[in-house]
Every structure is written in structure tokens, then in C-alpha cells.
Amino acid sequence: MMRLRDMALLTMLTIGLATSPLAAQNAGGVGKENSGEVKSPLQAAADLIKAYRFDEAAATIGHVQAEDEGSDGADNGAAALLRRARLGAEMLRGTERVTFVDSLVVPLAALTDYVRTEVGEGRLMPAERWGEVRGEGTTVYINGLNDKAILAIPDSAGTPRLAAANRIGRSWEAPEHLPLPAPGDTQQDYAFLMADGATLYYAAKGEGSLGGYDIYVTRYDTERKAFLKPENMGMPFSSPANDLLFIIDEASGIGCFATDRGQAPDSVCIYYFLPNPGREVFEGSEAEQRNAARITSIAATQTDSATVAEALRRLADLRQRQTRETGDAVRIVINDQTVYTDPGQFSNEQARRIATRWLALREETERQQRELERLRLRYTAAADAEKRALRHDILRLERSAEEAAESLRTMEKNFRKAELGTR
């Protein structure tokens, strides 16, 4: 059963019962139209793709290509952008109708701490914390029997691609790349294998992806002893941003996936949804399809209140169980073997002072993130006059969040270095 860890950090929680954190996409980059910046047609097309206006983007790119016919200039990237625009238009028309029940904004580096599975179904962890095999990816999946791991390692060209390592006795064999028939992928990561041992979800970016990482699914055919051609999960799961870890927990009947669309740097939003028994395409106007694809409103997806209430109850049970198991302690990671729950545990005085300031800054940063999210949501539904008034505060908080994130990373390095230097 899927579990969520470190619920003590729920000050980072953004409940999405009424409106999704991804509505912040509409606020991303606000103010640029008044900055005096003159955008090229291709830059304008790229912005249209980010806004899910794919047909308009394709038309803009078509005009650029027509103007460039017969010129001896180098490739300006229009072809690749046009491919993305056409792919986005196709994906938008096929947007799946999905019921979302909740959302949670967390640090990207702590993603696997918030999305946990029972040992019997396998487990996820940061690749850097798994010392058995050196990989180039972000996460590693280890099955319930603890005899198979899936992670990303470089191929002959140095590109991270998914590979499996088998455990024989007490040692792990060298991983071998999975025979995934996906030549267009330039990078693969964030693998999760279902309990059936055959259904594999992962993230990849390349010729078949809309933006950064997209979510893919494939299955292992035991008769052919090969994976089927991976399929892009499409919208609303894939987007012009980075869409990462994807899990369906059969025991609880709840799925989740992580995405950085509309989020601050180094943060992701985990969305919890009800998996469909079969794919149902969202029917509606283009504007309604666009809102469904972007997940601009969680409430708009909740057409059956009783089903949603039951799903929220199951999700709350998971969180309460994890809270009882982990307690309310703050986790201050020193290294793979050492985790403190209070600055008083530091043996080095300098490290203790830095950690105390780090905790205070983190608390303030979380408060600012909540305020930023509130303003972004207001901006989404605001009239033009109110949007102009909100721009200043949004941009100020975005700059402050970036500066705070950099300060937190520096302080973490410093208190770890000072503490480990005393040993």
C-alpha cells in the first residue's frame, strides 16, 4: 500500500480540494509583457505551447517556416517546436477524464520520502542513497523480494536509460539496460514497477515527449520475453513541463504522480487521483479541455462527491498511519547513516548554530510558499486590473523563494561539513 513519509513537514502541504497548485502556471512569468522584451515568433510559439494553445503555436511556426523558405540560414529549431505543437494538439484532444482528490507540494529532493510503498510491493529511494550500484538517474526502484532494482545508468553514448540489476545472494550484479523499444527517448528515469511485475511506469524525454519529462507506461510480454512499445500517458499526466514519478496503488485504489509544472524551482506537486478502469476521453469545449489537461481546478474534476469523500478518507488513513509511525520529528539529514531530529543533537557548535538558522529560514520559506500559492491562485481567476496589482507581489515572492532556496542549500552543505569534520 502506498505510504507518505515525514508528515511533520506538512507545513509544505498545499491542499488542492478547491483549486490545483498547477493553476500557478497561469502566473508563471507574469509581468514579462510589460518588461519591454520583444519576443521572436518562435519564442512566442514556445509560450503558446506552455499555455496549451497548440494550434496557435503551430500556425505561428508555420508562418516562420514560410518566411524562411529559400534562406540559407541554419536550422532555427522551428521543426522541433512544430513537432511539439502538433503533438500537444493531438494530446489535448485525447485528454483523459480523471478525478483528482488531493495535492501536495514537496521539495523535489524529498519526493521519495513522501511517496512510499509497502515492502511487499517494492520501495523507492533516491539513487544517491543506494550505494549498491552507481547510476545517473534520480530514483531507484527495488522490488518486494529485494532481488531486482531498476534505475538509470548511462548507455554507450552517456545518456541515462533504465536498467535492471539482479541480486544474487548478498551481492548485486552489474545492471543491464532494459530492452525498451523507445529509440526516440534521450533520457529515462523515475521507474516504478507494479506488483504484477510486468507493468512499468517511468518518465522520459526525447522525440516523443511534449516538453521535459513525460510519463510513459509499458508492459513486459512474458511469451515474447520483451517489453511492448511504451505509450505516452497523455494529458493530464504529461505536459510541456517535467512530469515525473507515476504510481497506481492497487490496495488503496489511489494513484499519484509528480510534476513541476507551475511550481517554484526544486519543488514538485504530487497529485492524487482515482485510476480509471478504462480510458475515458474528456468531452467539452477546447477551453474546458485545456483546463482539464492543465488540472487548473481539482474541484471541477470531482463529479461524484461520495466517491471523492471515500477516497479522501482512505488517503487520510494513510497519512494518519504514517504520522503515528514517524512521529512529528524534523529530519535533518547529515549523511546516509545519520539523521538528526533536533539541532541540539549536533556535536559541533558551529554546525548547531547553522542548523538552527536553517530551520528558522525553512519555516519562513514554507510560509512564503503558501502565500505565493495563494496569490497565484487568485491571479488565475482575477480580472485584468487585479492581475496587474498582483504581479508585483508574485514576482517579489518568486525572487525571494529562489534566494531562500539557494541559502538553504548552502546552509545544509555548511552544517554537514562542520559536523562531519568533528568526527
C-alpha cell at 23: 493553476
333 pLDDT band, cuts 50/70/90, is confident
In this structure, how many other beta carbons lie within 10 angstroms of the beta carbon of residue 55?
14
Instruction: Please give the single-letter amino acid code of residue 298.
Output: I
Is pLDDT at 300 greater than 70 in this prediction? yes
Is pLDDT at 17 greater than 50 in this prediction? no
Task: Please tell me the distance from the alpha carbon of residue 67 to that of residue 59, in angstroms, as a whole number.
Answer: 13
Is pLDDT at 21 greater than 90 in this prediction? no
188 pLDDT band, cuts 50/70/90, is very high
Over the stretch 203-247, which tens digit does the pLDDT of each residue have? Answer: 999 888 998 999 999 999 988 888 999 999 999 999 999 999 999
In this structure, how many other beta carbons lie within 10 angstroms of the beta carbon of residue 311?
22
Over the stretch 271-290, which tens digit does the pLDDT of each residue have? Answer: 999 999 889 999 999 999 99
Task: Please tell me the distance from the alpha carbon of residue 193 to that of residue 142, in angstroms, as a whole number.
Answer: 9
Over the stretch 140-186, which tens digit does the pLDDT of each residue have? Answer: 999 887 889 999 999 888 889 999 999 888 788 999 999 888 777 78
Which pLDDT score, from 0 to 100, does residue 22 have? 43
Q: Is the peptide bond before 236 cis (omega within 30 degrees of 0)?
A: yes
DSSP conformational letter for 137: S
Which pLDDT score, from 0 to 100, does residue 66 have? 64
* CB-CB contact of 402 with 359 (8 Å): no
- Residue 356: Cβ-neighbour burial (10 angstroms; 0-12, 13-18, 19+): middle
Exposure string of 323-344, with b = 16+ CB inside 10 Å and e = fewer, is beebeeebebebeeeeebeebe
The average pLDDT across 342-361 equals 84
Which pLDDT score, from 0 to 100, does residue 128 have? 82
More confident of the two residues 327 and 355: 355
